[in-house]
Every structure is written in structure tokens, then in C-alpha cells.
Structure 1
């Protein structure tokens, strides 16, 4: 482990919950942002399939 010395500064009983808590918070925030800013994600989370649009002939 190349970052093993960090545990001489921060106790693992404090550092690991902070690390895992921050990762979980970021994941929740990213999913919330996608959920509120897209139209397809709520449908996907509810199990609906996406409507496939046919390509438009140009020219």
C-alpha cells in the first residue's frame, strides 16, 4: 500500500468512515443531479424502456 503512512496521522476508526461517507454522499448527489436534470433517468429507474427514435433522412 503506497499510502499506508496516512494511518499514522489519521486513525482508521475515524478515517475510514469519513472516506466511505464522503464517497456515499458524492454518489447520492450525482444520482440526484441526473434524476432531476434528465427525462430518461426517472423512466429508467422505474423499469420503463426507452423509446427508440428512427433516424431522420436528411438530404
Structure 2
């Protein structure tokens, strides 16, 4: 469970929100932000184009 938590929120110990006890209730709300996460993913594509503008050299440095 710890490793799966890291992939979602970044709290490996708690796994989902950081409150192992209250994790049951917010688990339902956790599905809603997951849907919104797909929208910013679409904006992530133009980010690659902007990276080419800088030459993507500072990123490697």
C-alpha cells in the first residue's frame, strides 16, 4: 500500500490523503479530483512545445 500511495498523492505511509483513519471518507471525494487531473494533463502537451522554445537545454542541465 505504501508504494501505491506514492504514485497518487505522495504520502507513501498513509497512501491516499495522509490520514489513515479518515482515509475512508475522503476516498469517495478522491475520485472527483482524479477526473480533474485529466484536464491539466491536456495542458501538459503545449508544455512540451514551450520546452522546444527554450531548447530544452536548461532542463538537462
**TM-score (norm: length of structure 2):** 0.32
Higher relative contact order (CA 8 A, sep 6+): 2
Query: Which structure carries more helix by proportion?
Result: 2
Q: Which has the larger radius of gyration?
A: 1
**TM-score (norm: length of structure 1):** 0.33
